[in-house]
Chains A and B, each alone.
Chain A
Amino acid sequence: MESMQLLLERYGAAGYFDEYADADGKPRRHYAALARTLAATDWADFRHRVELVNSVLLQRGVTFTVYADARGTERIMPFDLIPRIIPSGEWEMISAGVAQRVRALNAFVHDVYHEQRILREHRVPYDLVYSSRFYCREMVELDVPRDVYIHVSGIDLIRGDDGKYYVLEDNLRTPSGISYVLENRDALKRSFPQLFESYQPRAVDDYPQRLRNALRLAAPAHVENPTIVLLTPGIYNSAYFEHAMLARRMGAELVEGQDLIVRDNVVYMKTTKGLARVDVIYRRIDDEFIDPLYFRPDSTLGAAGLMNAYRAGNVNLANAIGTGVADDKAIYPYVPEMIDFYFSEQPILANVPTYLCNDEVQRRHVLAHLDELVVKNTNQSGGYGMLMGPYATPAERARFAEAIESNPREFIAQPVIPLSCHPTIVGDEILPRHIDLRPYVLYSEEVEVPPAALTRVALQEGSLVVNSSQGGGTKDTWVMDN
């Protein structure tokens, strides 16, 4: 029977920055003890544990729904048992970096809907803001409690060939994935306790309490013991499992739009004892579905009159309406500007170089280099609406070229960033696969970054797309104490 030692010895970095192996192919210092534990494990035993974990996850219903599949199949997100380790020094830099970013983005949202200083001083172009699909004029001059808009966010980071972390994307609307962080840790502890013998990663399971605390502080000023609800689109949503889990662990009511009713600008939920007032809504539905009177009239996911109640200050929404203007992919290149403009600070985490197709010079460059660049649609996320230039067929490139010409505002382009790699179980081997990192950021009075981050892994060889909808998996992420 093959031992894991052999597989690890055979492990060769794929020519990218490798989280586990150094330039000589030896495990880095913070992975050394993990390598020893794995090497001492019998391969058949390890495979058995993998199956065990997967059956536990299916039984628990840790699943997501694949939209492209008409039957709405529930699948488990593939979970790779080899954890990703982040040394404490690196994490301090990461958490300071994403916190700085979220503070700046929050200041930007407030500014855009109030004085518009950053626009008037021409640091961010007016037209990019006004043309954003997520700009919401109903938010103009509206004050929200504590001036906090972005209560919960997830910042996607990648690590390049130089070993430096870069921000790939800000997710400021309804980022999901935290349930995998909690479930992965739990599953790994149960199925492979030996791994924890030489490590004590920082615990992640207090995230729901931290979130509840942040939501409590988001209540309208006059409310002392706010009623918090989590608004879900319902059981067919791909992240429903997560909604149910967070509501349960926070002790908050999980509501659907049909459970809410608005009377005299106050939001209530319909209970067996009549109507009960709601103060804070952690909503996991997009802006456009919130209120059929203001936004999409065909939406049954929100509640009619909710926006009026929000504007009257009788209920608070987390996140606020209209935060999407700040995570628009065409606004992303300006985040370093924001950090400088609002705080006179240097960005701790760098952006990936980005071309805005809206700008004629940059557009011409993009069109001439389509075979080298990644093109992204500013209105889509989750790995949908993307062109991976070097791997695309000429026909696909031609289709994107045409789309860019006819609608330049909707596209940006970036060089292909070689994501770092991490040892991953693939069939009967341990092979390097590309990964990213999504720390979650909570903003109440202060910005806090719980040591609960999601590592996604692209399971296909060579693939740089880690989204779950595109065949990605996850790993447990260990943030180390000193």
Chain B
Amino acid sequence: MLSRVAESMYWLSRNIERAETLARMLDVNLNRTMDRYSASSGRAQKVWQSVLSIIGMTADLSAVSARETAQTAFEYCTFSTETRTSILSCIRIARQNALGVRAELSTEVWEAINGLYLFVEAQSPRSIAREGPSSFLRSVRNTTQAIGGVIDATVTHDDAWNFLQIGRFLERSTITSRIVQGHDPSDPSAAELQRLLEMCCASEPFAKVRHLSMEPTEVLDFVLLNAQFPRSVRFCVEEIDAALHRISETVRSTFSNEAERVLGRLLPVLEFVQIEEIVAEGSANFALRLSERLLALGAAVEASYFPRVPVA
């Protein structure tokens, strides 16, 4: 397939995934700051600042009054056009990329993305204030998740789909890793662990496998290393590895390009490391190294498959 098309597929699904993450992170934290932390406590401000840093935003909330923290963070993450990491920006980027590969996408996928774009463009802070942010965030989350399903069900599982997979799982593993990075192990309260699980969309799946207890090590083990939970870093990295080897038509656990090499080193770590080692090292520190590897992986995918060649 065309390199340009592969690149657009990758960014398209990364940005859809990112929009979904943003919607969920905002919803989870808005919800919790409504009753758990009184709005005027410094606690809410700290939470929002950490949310912004997880999604890679540099905005400084310390200048904002405590009462307005949530609203400011919300508006910034939703409609800001200054950053590429707001819901609006992500959906615009996704749609822009979809437009460029319209001939390769199924009609259903295109219509779903275009519909989401038209919906989000039609919103304003005022319209959201009327209905409450939750209904807006829910729509974004439902639609972005539905797009993932429509992609799987209507796009041929060829290279185009493989690049969509890589974008989706690279984004997902990155965000899970950064959530763990932003988690403070010195606060082992059930509420804080619950927030972590919810931000990873892992609360109910975790409760299913560990219905009696909520030990910090088990929570971290679940979101980092679980082999079956589709948002754990290990699961995502497995998916990326499979997609890369389907594209290169080579055997897994060998490598034919830089992306596969970076991944080939990372995957066994996630498969064989024990959670106790991670806790001993410090989960934030481990997650930081993990995030760096994932960043290198993204760069290697770009260099291997859509190199920036100067136009002759």
B223 within 8 A of A: no
Closest to B7 in A: A272
Closest to A261 in B: B312
Q: Mark B108-123, 1 if CB is under 8 A from A, else 0.
A: 0011001100100000
Stretch of B96-104, B146-154, B261-269, B284-292 contacting A (4+ beta carbons < 8 Å) = B96-104
Q: Could you tell me the distance between the alpha carbons of A304 and B312 in the complex, rounded to whole angstroms? A: 8
Interface of B, secondary structure class, is helix
Stretch of A82-90, A252-260, A334-342 contacting B (4+ beta carbons < 8 Å) = A252-260
Q: Could you tell me the distance between the alpha carbons of A140 and B6 in the complex, rounded to whole angstroms? A: 40
Stretch of A58-66, A435-443, A445-453 contacting B (4+ beta carbons < 8 Å) = A58-66
Q: A59-B111, A235-B99, A304-B312 are in contact. Are A256 and B118 (CB under 8 A)?
A: no
Q: How far is the CB of A269 from chain B (nearest CB, A)?
A: 6
Q: A60-B107, A61-B114, A272-B6 are in contact. Are A248 and B312 (CB under 8 A)?
A: no
Q: Which residues of B contact A230 (CB under 8 A)?
A: 103
Q: Could you tell me the distance between the alpha carbons of A258 and B104 in the complex, rounded to whole angstroms? A: 17
Tell me the chain A residues, 236-290 only, with Cβ under 8 Å from chain B.
Answer: 240-241, 243-245, 247-248, 252-256, 258-259, 261, 269-273
Q: Could you tell me the distance between the alpha carbons of A235 and B93 in the complex, rounded to whole angstroms? A: 13
Which listed residue (A59, A255, A304) contacts B114, Cβ 8 A? A59
Q: What is the total number of residues of chain B having a CB less than 8 Å from a CB of chain A?
A: 25
Q: How far is the CB of A61 from chain B (nearest CB, A)?
A: 5
Closest to A303 in B: B312
Q: Which residues of A contact B100 (CB under 8 A)?
A: 234-235
Q: Which residues of A contact B209 (CB under 8 A)?
A: none
- In the complex, the answer to whether A269 meets B2 with C-beta atoms within 8 Å is yes
Q: Which residues of B contact A256 (CB under 8 A)?
A: 4
Q: Could you tell me the distance between the alpha carbons of A258 and B312 in the complex, rounded to whole angstroms? A: 9
A176 within 8 A of B: no
Closest to B114 in A: A61
Q: Which residues of A contact B114 (CB under 8 A)?
A: 59-61
A227 within 8 A of B: no
Q: Could you tell me the distance between the alpha carbons of A241 and B102 in the complex, rounded to whole angstroms? A: 8
Q: How far is the CB of B248 from chain A (nearest CB, A)?
A: 9
Which listed residue (B1, B103, B309) contacts A247, Cβ 8 A? B103
Which listed residue (B103, B159, B247, B305) contacts A248, Cβ 8 A? B103
Closest to B106 in A: A248
- In the complex, the answer to whether B6 meets A300 with C-beta atoms within 8 Å is no
Q: A60-B114, A258-B311 are in contact. Are A272 and B1 (CB under 8 A)?
A: yes
- In the complex, the answer to whether B110 meets A61 with C-beta atoms within 8 Å is yes
Which listed residue (B1, B96, B110, B163) contacts A271, Cβ 8 A? B1
Q: Could you tell me the distance between the alpha carbons of A254 and B103 in the complex, rounded to whole angstroms? A: 6
Closest to A250 in B: B103
- In the complex, the answer to whether B4 meets A259 with C-beta atoms within 8 Å is yes
Which listed residue (B110, B163, B311) contacts A300, Cβ 8 A? B311
Q: How far is the CB of B252 from chain A (nearest CB, A)?
A: 18
Closest to A244 in B: B102
- In the complex, the answer to whether A255 meets B111 with C-beta atoms within 8 Å is no
Closest to A56 in B: B111
Q: Which residues of A contact B312 (CB under 8 A)?
A: 261, 304
Q: Mark B178-202, 1 if CB is under 8 A from A, else 0.
A: 0000000000000000000000000
Q: Which residues of A contact B247 (CB under 8 A)?
A: 272
Q: Which residues of B contact A248 (CB under 8 A)?
A: 102-104, 107
B3 within 8 A of A: yes
Q: Could you tell me the distance between the alpha carbons of A256 and B7 in the complex, rounded to whole angstroms? A: 14
Q: How far is the CB of B166 from chain A (nearest CB, A)?
A: 11
- In the complex, the answer to whether B115 meets A272 with C-beta atoms within 8 Å is no
Q: Mark A375-388, 1 if CB is under 8 A from B, else 0.
A: 00000000000000
Tell me the chain B residues, 245-301 only, with Cβ under 8 Å from chain A.
Answer: 247
- In the complex, the answer to whether A271 meets B103 with C-beta atoms within 8 Å is no
Pick the most buried of B3, B104, B114, B163: most chain A CB atoms within 10 A of its CB: B3
Q: How far is the CB of B258 from chain A (nearest CB, A)?
A: 14
Q: Mark A39-63, 1 if CB is under 8 A from B, else 0.
A: 0000000000000000000111100
Closest to B163 in A: A272
- In the complex, the answer to whether A59 meets B305 with C-beta atoms within 8 Å is no
Q: How far is the CB of A477 from chain B (nearest CB, A)?
A: 23
Q: Which residues of B contact A254 (CB under 8 A)?
A: 102-104
Which listed residue (B2, B111, B115) contacts A270, Cβ 8 A? B2
Q: Mark A101-132, 1 if CB is under 8 A from B, else 0.
A: 00000000000000000000000000000000
Q: Which residues of B contact A255 (CB under 8 A)?
A: 2
Q: Could you tell me the distance between the alpha carbons of A252 and B309 in the complex, rounded to whole angstroms? A: 24
Q: Could you tell me the distance between the alpha carbons of A245 and B110 in the complex, rounded to whole angstroms? A: 12
Closest to B96 in A: A235
Give me 9 A-to-B residue pairs in the complex whose CB atoms sit less than 8 angstroms apart, sorted by A's number. A60-B111, A234-B100, A235-B96, A241-B102, A248-B103, A258-B311, A272-B163, A272-B247, A304-B312
A residues sitting closer than 8 Å to B (CB atoms) are 58-61, 230, 234-235, 240-241, 243-245, 247-248, 252-256, 258-259, 261, 269-273, 300, 304
* With A230-B103, A272-B306 already in contact, 16 other A-B pairs whose C-beta atoms are closer than 8 Å: A58-B118, A59-B111, A60-B110, A60-B111, A60-B114, A61-B111, A248-B103, A248-B107, A258-B311, A259-B2, A259-B4, A261-B312, A272-B1, A272-B6, A272-B247, A273-B1
